[in-house]
Amino acid sequence: MLTVRKATLDDVRDIVSVHTADEDLSSLSVGERYLHGGPWMSVETCSAHINALLIEKQLPVVAELEGRVVGEAETFFSTEPISGKVLKIAHIDVIEVHPDFRRAGIGRALVGFIENVAIERGVEFVTTQPDESALGFYRKLGFRWVLYDGVLVEIRTEGFESVEVKPLPFFPWEAVRSLELVAGRFQSSYDMWFSSFRDLFAGVHELKEAGKVGDSYYVLKSLPGRPGKASLFLWGSLEAVPAAVARAGDLGFGRVLTVLEREVVKYIEAEEKVEVPIKGKRLV
């Protein structure tokens, strides 16, 4: 019998087994495993990750078949502006099913459980940023709205004029929850804040600098394996994007990777990479 429930720290080893079922990681260190596939690649980093989710009252869930964990999903709940509209959302960040149990309705069961919890919490939309291979799966489940039409871009820092910024060791979610995530919306705004401050592992995932420019807040991260490149997340005004890019240049980065809304890209000199749409399903 298949059951879906909220995950606990006791499930960590089984969650890692699901995510690494097709992987041979025996020769890799904990840090190398993280860089290979994220916090789910080892018990050490997955424990910290799941613990942070539970402390923040987010929703990691597991699917069990006859007592064996065969799938895992993670959802972030938040109220945040998306393309100018403040929405209460449940953003599905991760769904993973053990390869021996795929195409057996487990992914559908995980999403159904998440939707039921979201309805109980008064959520308006369930959202996700699906891989191209998962578009059909989510379409069948009713994810037909495009809530954010984003594009991954690469921007040269050369030529951007430096302005005064205020570096910060940390800024709380309350500081940016009412601000639009105008650059770097790869997942939900809360998801990006969480990964910037709650889900960092020393020596593995580096936060280069957080700070404030004008009334906007930024995060700059080094990109593992991509020397000279930084990822940018910016809450507030699009007018602060040039200042954040310039700050990346001051810190020694030659290029910045970020996500901008398609309507904005044409006004910024940047190299387009791939589309990053956020799909949604209305619940109320």
pLDDT tens digits along 232-248: 999 999 999 999 999 99
User: Which CATH number do you get for residue 77?
Assistant: 3.40.630.30
For residue 125, give its domain range: 2-147
pLDDT at 272 over 80: yes
The reply to whether 9 and 71 lie within a common domain is: yes
Contact 179, 236 (CB under 8 A): yes
Grade residue 201 by pLDDT with cuts at 50, 70 and 90. confident
pLDDT at 271 over 70: yes
Q: Say how far apart CA 114 and CA 93 lie, in whole Å.
A: 12
Grade residue 164 by pLDDT with cuts at 50, 70 and 90. very high
The reply to whether 133 and 163 lie within a common domain is: no
The reply to whether 180 and 165 lie within a common domain is: yes
Q: Which residues contact 25 (CB under 8 A, 6 or more apart)?
A: 33, 36, 41, 42
Can you list the alpha helix ranges (DSSP code H) found in the chain? 12-19, 30-37, 43-55, 106-120, 135-140, 173-176, 189-197, 241-250, 262-265
Q: Say how far apart CA 69 and CA 66 lie, in whole Å.
A: 9
Q: Residues, the chain, total?
A: 284
| Domain finish residue from 93, 124, 147 | 147
The reply to whether 171 and 137 lie within a common domain is: no
Number of structural domains in the chain: 2
Q: Say how far apart CA 166 and CA 150 lie, in whole Å.
A: 28
State both tokens at 113: 């459980």
DSSP reduced 3-state for 139 = helix
Q: What is the pLDDT of residue 202?
A: 66
The reply to whether 78 and 7 lie within a common domain is: yes
Mean pLDDT over 169-190 rounds to 97
| Domain finish residue from 86, 115, 147 | 147
The reply to whether 273 and 158 lie within a common domain is: yes
Grade residue 206 by pLDDT with cuts at 50, 70 and 90. confident
Q: Say how far apart CA 142 and CA 137 lie, in whole Å.
A: 9
State both tokens at 115: 């939707």
- What's the whole-model pTM score? 0.94
The per-residue pLDDT for range 211-227, each reduced to its tens digit, is: 999 999 999 999 887 88
The reply to whether 13 and 138 lie within a common domain is: yes
Contact 151, 267 (CB under 8 A): no
Q: Say how far apart CA 62 and CA 100 lie, in whole Å.
A: 16
- Alpha carbon separation from 271 to 63, 254, 255, 258, 259 (Å, rounded): 41, 14, 11, 11, 11
| Domain finish residue from 147, 177, 208 | 147
